[in-house]
Amino acid sequence: MEIKKLTNRIFYIPHHPETDRPLLAYIKGDKIALAIDAGNSAAHVDEFYQALEVEGLKKPDVTIITHWHWDHTFGMHHINGISIAHHKTNEFLEKEKNKLSDNSYIKSMKKNNKYLNREYVNDRKIVITQSDVQFEKKITLNLGGTTAQIFHAEAPHSEDTVLIYIPEEKVLFLGDSTSEDFFNDGYMDMDKLRKLINLIESIDCQYCILGHTEPLSKCDLLVYLKSISN
């Protein structure tokens, strides 16, 4: 998989529908390299880092997690540097980690999730870990020449939703936040969706980056979200 360049400082490898691997992004600061999401396995992390190397980019110093779902977090144990997550993300991850000690839970995960089953072929082991740093409301990183504003937001997809805004590049990372809640029978909370739409509207960005699609313009995303929220 090749690295794609979105702006001067922002790169990404696209999502991978076969195994539900989400898009992984990279922000190149003069001092700190920031990755967004850890991917769904150690193999996914390796693929990302190899693509970075080909492009002459160093491994991330910090990885920020958008939410706890397996496809965004099961690579966390394998990252370079440190990870940052919302405190609720860590709570969810701890629960999942405890369930892993039961072998039948792993079996049922594989049975019920064809993507996970495809990713964890042969003897690949599922490893869940919590982040090195956690926060409650927001945390701002000065990456050198550019900043990352990381904050918790209310969203229909998960309780622990974290958004990342890079003002200098006018890019907003949204993870899967605009989607329904798969862990609540695919329920779409319209109230939360409308709040999220208002929030996106208020942010001065050109691109909106979601986990499982190509980068969108802010305008295209808002047109789509408004069409489903009416």
Q: Which residues bind Zn ion (CB under 5 A)?
A: 69, 176
Q: Which is nearer to Zn ion, 9 or 69 (CB)?
A: 69
Nearer to Zn ion, 49 or 92 (CB): 92
Q: Which is nearer to Zn ion, 175 or 215 (CB)?
A: 175
DSSP assignment, residue 218?
H
Nearer to Zn ion, 31 or 95 (CB): 95
102: left (phi over 0), alpha (psi -120 to 50) or beta: beta
- Choose between 119 and 176: whose C-beta lies nearer to Zn ion: 176
Whole-number minimum distance, CB 176 to Zn ion, in Å? Answer: 4
In the complex, least distance from residue 67 CB atom to Zn ion, rounded to whole angstroms: 6
Question: Could you tell me the smallest distance in angstroms from the CB atom of residue 147 to Zn ion?
Answer: 25
Nearest distance, CB of residue 61 and Zn ion, angstroms: 25
155-158's contacts with Cβ under 8 Å and 24+ in sequence apart are 155/192, 155/193, 155/196, 156/180, 156/181, 156/187, 156/188, 156/189, 156/190, 156/192, 156/193, 156/196, 157/67, 157/181, 157/182, 158/67, 158/68, 158/69, 158/183
Tokens of 206: 């050109």
59 CB-contact burial (10 Å; exposed 0-12 / middle 13-18 / buried 19+): middle
Nearer to Zn ion, 29 or 175 (CB): 175
Q: What angle do CA 63, 161, 6 make, to 5 degrees?
A: 55
> Shortest approach of Zn ion to residue 211 CB, angstroms?
7
Least distance between Zn ion and beta carbon 37 (Å): 10
